[in-house]
Amino acid sequence: MSVRNYQKFYKPLHAKHSADFGRCIYCGCEAARQDYIPPIKFIHDWRDGNREADFISVPACNECTDLLKNENNSTLGQRQSVLKRKLAEKYSKAIRVFNHWSIEEIEEMDAAFQVSLKGGMRLGKETLTRIGFPGFDYEVDGSFIRAALPQQEVFTVFGEEFDSFREALAFASSAYQIKKSRLSQLYFDNDESFDRAIEVFHGLVEGNQ
């Protein structure tokens, strides 16, 4: 049976509001294709058993569709989570540039480095926006589903609160005199805690004196 014949098992997902028409459900970019949940290539894993699956087709951009093509996910929520992880992995270097550098720091460098780092900052910022995209309100077969509200993550540094990892890292680096690259590594090595990372760093420094 051809792919076209399998499409009859899927209900199309439609954006509820005109502002979302033509947008990728995963990242908010311009949609170019339909992504099938579960993927058509894995359809027998879900139709031949008593396993729950959405069986919907959703608007998606080319990159998200390609990143998910080998992922055997059966629900939109699962697929959204996997996509965010894959984007973070693919653009990890650009995200790191965005988090670790400021425009002021970059402009002190020579022209060649400026071009490279500014490009990385733009890509990193764009990627974080795509990762944070919550989806949109949609309708499937007459049923209306409201998009989940985005969860605002808060980063703390000894009681000080910040809306982004980048802002918290810049503050902690300056306030506690730790290079951003070192502090970032310690943050992820210590349960994603700036407090613990700073304590460990100063403990290491004191131990080396």
Alpha-carbon span 67 to 60, nearest angstrom = 11
35 lies in a domain? no
Q: What is the pLDDT of residue 82?
A: 97
193 lies in a domain? yes
93 lies in a domain? no
180 lies in a domain? yes
173 lies in a domain? yes
25 lies in a domain? no
37 lies in a domain? no
In the chain, the number of structural domains is 1
Q: What is the pLDDT of residue 30?
A: 98
For residue 163, the enclosing domain spans: 152-204
Helix ranges restricted to H, 41-179? 43-47, 62-68, 76-90, 92-100, 103-106, 111-131, 165-176
Q: pLDDT under 70 in the chain at which residues?
A: 1-3, 49-50, 150, 205-209
Alpha-carbon span 109 to 170, nearest angstrom = 19
Q: What is the largest CA-CA distance in the chain?
A: 71
